[in-house]
Amino acid sequence: MKKQQRLWIGGLAIVIFLGLWEAAMPLGWVKVADISRPTLVVKAFVELTRTGDIFHHLFVSLKEFFLGFALSLVVGVPLGVLLGRYRTPFLFLDPLLMAIYTTPRVAMMPLLVVAFGVGFGATVAVVFLGAVFPILVNTAVGVREIDRVWIRAVESFGGTEWNIFTKVLLPGSVPPIVTGIRLGVGRGILGMVVGEMYAATEGIGQQIALYGNSFAVSELMALIVVVSLLGFVFVSLIRLVEDRLRYRRMETEV
Amino acid sequence: MQIEFRQVTVVFPQPKGGSFVAVDGFELQVEKGEFVTIVGPSGCGKSTMLLVADGLIRPTAGQVFFENKLVTAPGPDRALVFQEFALLPWRTVESNVMLGLELQKKRSPTEMRNVVNHYIQLVGLRGFEHHYPHQLSGGMRQRVGLARALAVNPAILLMDEPFAALDAQTREIMSEELLRIWEEDKKTVLFVTHGIEEAVYLADRIVVMSSQPGRVKEIIRVDLPRPRGLAIKDDPEFVRLRRHIWNLLMKEVRWQVDGRGKTP
């Protein structure tokens, strides 16, 4: 299917949804206090940007997000390579990591607040915990599935274990690492919002909780849209990188 | 004598216990500048011998000596060419050919680039320096593999069924090309194949192996004149050698085909 056609059909659903939402309250389809309307949400958004308040909270949130995400890269990629390459560390750490992985991050929030403090510290920690696993797991799988013959080629030229890491394992697992990063972004943003909603004095998540508690639905929706746009932009950028990589390094089959 | 296999035996432990004798008491001496082919049915351990010569596999018993030094690990004097080409798909032709030089860190970047370009030209890939492996045909990919091995200027070239993955025509052209390149500086070559015709066409001597366990069955000298063109395949001596080797291998192959072999 052509790309234009795809955009058009996909866009139609959004337009219909917005139309129904806009009409729902005035036409009395819903009997609840307030579900707001797209036009009101836009108005609320304009108001929020006019005071500049939203930018401060966005900045705080992004700072937490990027720090947590950077940490998850610094930890996730090397650890993933290690676990993908060597059996003993894998057997040693796998049960522990899986236990942490399957524990809902939200359930850890109280602990994280105690450990890292309200707001910044706890949010960075929960972003890290969300993003690090997809990155780690994808890296490990990527490294494990590296073609043995590439490693053998490096060995045959007298390459060291370090050479195997830098010349084969890392570049060879870039596509799955990027996929892990893409999945990690979603988890990281989730962590960012949840962390701030639970315990913070500033940030988008804290604002969402604030407006939610005071039933200011239009402002609440405006903030939610901001968060989802944020995720959409990040994921799209990474998709772009993924597609380019796929084109450049299509597997050579014999 | 450049490389010497002394009673090399390789036993692989099996995952379910027990062991598999891949090669048993392999003996071979290769002179400097000699082109030796090793031919045998699948599973005769001929590729294993090549990996032992390179130092990637340690023999269970026996030794390999290269220029009178015991082989224990890969070294810059020996270079492998792989059946699967083993090119890194994220690197261009130029960058793939440079891999060995990079790892050996003996030259400056400018020198390396000059060496790389020389060998890219030698194997006939000029103009493809910046292509990726997936943009090349099978034959071209193996030219890259060959250039990569030659670029480190090894004393011996170890070729593990390098043309097995190519179609019949490309294969003939590649073996002719290989001889052309070999004639330039006559490096020692140890060339493993299961193609009888290829083995005769290329070789000064042919090592015929039997399988399960892999043993040397016969070593045959090829006295066909050099340089050789593809037309030599019609020479009566060529035909005689080919038939002779086929007869040697026939029993082995029959076993494999009928499943009446000595089961491992």
- Considering only the beta carbons, identify the residue of B103, B134, B138 that sits closest to A157: B103
- H helical segments located in chain B: 46-54, 93-104, 109-122, 138-151, 168-185, 196-202, 236-258
Res B63: pLDDT: 95
How many domains does one find in chain A? Answer: 2
Asked, for residue A63, whether it belongs to a domain, the answer is yes
Contact B88 A254 (CB under 8 A): no
Min distance A161 CA to chain B CA atoms (Å): 11
Contact B82 A153 (CB under 8 A): yes
Please name the member of B79, B85, B89 whose beta carbon is closest to the beta carbon of A249. B89
In the prediction, which pLDDT does A249 show? 60
Based on the domain organization, do B59 and B161 belong to the same domain? yes
Q: Are B205 and B34 in contact (CB under 8 A)?
A: yes
**Measured between alpha carbons, how far is residue B141 from residues B31, B102, B154 in Å?**
29, 20, 20
Say whether both A46 and A60 belong to one domain.
yes
Structural domain harbouring A176: 36-248
User: What is the pLDDT averaged over residues B182-202?
Assistant: 94
* Local confidence band at A253 (pLDDT 50, 70, 90 cut-offs): very low
CA distances from B188 to B32, B210, B255 (A): 5, 24, 33
Which pLDDT value is given to residue B147? 96
Which of A137-141, A243-247, B158-162, B245-249 has the least mean pLDDT? A243-247
**Mean of pLDDT values over A183-194:** 92
Residues A116 and A148 in one domain: yes
For residue B7, what are the domain limits? Answer: 1-77+156-165+185-258
So what's the pLDDT on residue B140? 95
- pLDDT, mean of residues B246-263: 72
DSSP state of A27: T
Q: Which residue of chain B comes nearest to A146, CA vs CA?
A: B88
- Let me know if residue A254 belongs to a domain: no
Tell me, what's the pLDDT at A252?
A: 42
**B42 vs A234, which has greater pLDDT?**
A234
Are the beta carbons of B225 and B72 closer than 8 angstroms?
A: no
Residue B233 and residue B160 share a domain? yes
Q: Give the residue with greater pLDDT, B97 vs A4.
A: B97
pLDDT tens digits along B103-139: 988 889 999 999 999 999 999 999 999 999 999 999 9
Q: Is A157 on the interface with B (CB under 8 A)?
A: yes
Report percent pLDDT > 70 for chain B: 97
Write down the pLDDT at residue A159.
Answer: 92
Q: What is the mean pLDDT of chain A?
A: 89
pLDDT, chain B, mean: 92
Angstrom distance (rounded) from CA A218 to CA A47:
11
Give yes or no for residue A238 having a pLDDT over 60. Answer: yes
Same domain, B219 and B197: yes
B174 within a domain of the structure (yes/no): no
> Does the beta carbon of B163 lie under 8 angstroms from any beta carbon of chain A?
no
Nearest to B103 among A149, A154, A250 (CB): A154
- Is A253 inside any structural domain? no
Please list every residue in chain A whose beta carbon sits closer than 8 Å to the beta carbon of residue B134.
249-252
Which among B54, B89, B104 is the nearest to A252, CB-wise?
B89
Which residues of B fall within a CB distance of 8 Å from A156? 54, 56, 74, 79-80
Residues of chain A above pLDDT 90, percent: 57
Phi, psi of B224 (to 5 degrees): -70, 145
Average pLDDT in the B28-43 region?
93
Same domain, A86 and A176: yes
Q: Is residue B177 in some structural domain? A: no
B247 and B160 assigned to the same domain: yes
Among B56, B87, B90, whose Cβ lies nearest the Cβ of A156? Answer: B56
Q: Is a pLDDT exceeding 90 seen at residue B35?
A: yes
CATH number at residue A98: 1.10.3720.10
Residues A83 and A102 placed together within one structural domain of the fold: yes
Please indicate, yes or no, whether residues B115 and B244 belong to a single structural domain of this protein.
no
End position of a domain, from candidates B130, B153, B176: B153
What pLDDT sits at residue A199?
83
d(CA A169, CA A164): 6
Is A254–B75 a contact, with Cβ atoms under 8 angstroms apart? no
* B171 is a domain residue: no
User: A51 pLDDT exceeds 90?
Assistant: no
User: Domain check: are A169 and A144 in the same one?
Assistant: yes
Residues B5 and B40 in one domain: yes
Residue B264 lies in a domain: no
pTM for the model stands at 0.81
* CATH code at position B37: 3.40.50.300
d(CA B247, CA B84): 29
**A residues 4-43 near B, CB within 8 Å?**
none
Residues B134 and B160 in one domain: no
Q: How many CA atoms lie within 13 A of A218 on its CB side?
A: 14
Do residues A92 and A10 share a domain?
Answer: no
Same domain, A150 and A90: yes
Residue A7 inside a domain? The answer is yes
As a whole number of angstroms, the distance between CA A117 and CA A48 comes to: 28
| Same domain, yes or no: A136 and A72 | yes
Number of domains in chain B: 2
- Hey, is the C-beta of B79 within 8 angstroms of any chain A C-beta? yes
**Which among B88, B95, B102, B160 is the top mutation candidate for probing chain A, defined by the most A β-carbons within 10 Å of its own β-carbon?**
B88
Residue B179 domain flag: no
In this complex, which of A149, A158, A168 lies closest to B74 when CB atoms are compared? Answer: A158
B175, part of any domain: no
Answer whether residue A66 is part of any domain. yes
Whether B57 and B146 map to the same domain: the answer is no
Which whole number is the average pLDDT over A169-179?
91
- Tell me the nearest-neighbour CA distance from A181 into chain B, angstroms: 20
- The DSSP bridge pattern shows strands B35-39 and B188-193 to be parallel
B residues 88-117 closer than 8 Å to A (CB): 88-90, 99-100, 102-104
Q: Chain B window 36-55: which residues touch A at a Cβ cutoff of 8 Å?
A: 54
Q: Are residues A5 and A54 in the same domain?
A: no
Q: Please, which pLDDT band fits residue B260 given cuts at 50, 70 and 90?
A: low
Whether pLDDT at B264 is above 50: no
Cβ separation of A252 and B133 shorter than 8 Å?
yes
d(CA A112, CA A120): 11
B207 and B144 belong to one structural domain: no
Burial letters A88-104, b for 16+ CB under 10 A, else e? eeeeeeeeebeeeeeee
Q: What is the mean pLDDT of residues A42-69?
A: 92
What is the interface pTM, i.e. ipTM, of the complex? 0.89
List chain A residues with CB under 8 Å of B74: 155-158
Q: Please check whether residues A44 and A27 belong to one and the same domain.
A: no
A144 with A225, same domain?
yes
Q: Is residue B116 included in any domain, yes or no?
A: yes
Residues B246 and B192 in one domain: yes
Residue A248's pLDDT is 62
Residue A247 touches partner B, C-beta closer than 8 Å: no
In the prediction, which pLDDT does A250 show?
55
Q: Are residues B100 and B196 in the same domain?
A: no
Strands B188-193 and B156-160: parallel
For residue A99, being part of any structural domain is answered with yes
Of A147, A150, A155, the CB nearest to B74: A155
Cα gap A29→A14, rounded to integer Å: 19
What does the block give as tokens for B111? 């020198």
pLDDT score recorded for residue B172:
93
Smallest Cα distance from A198 to chain B, Å: 44
Confidence (pLDDT) at B71: 94
Same domain, B96 and B219: no
Final residue of a domain: which of B153, B175, B208?
B153
Higher pLDDT, B220 or A175: B220
Together in a domain, A76 and A7: no
Closest by alpha carbon to B208, among B256, B242, B159, B168? B242
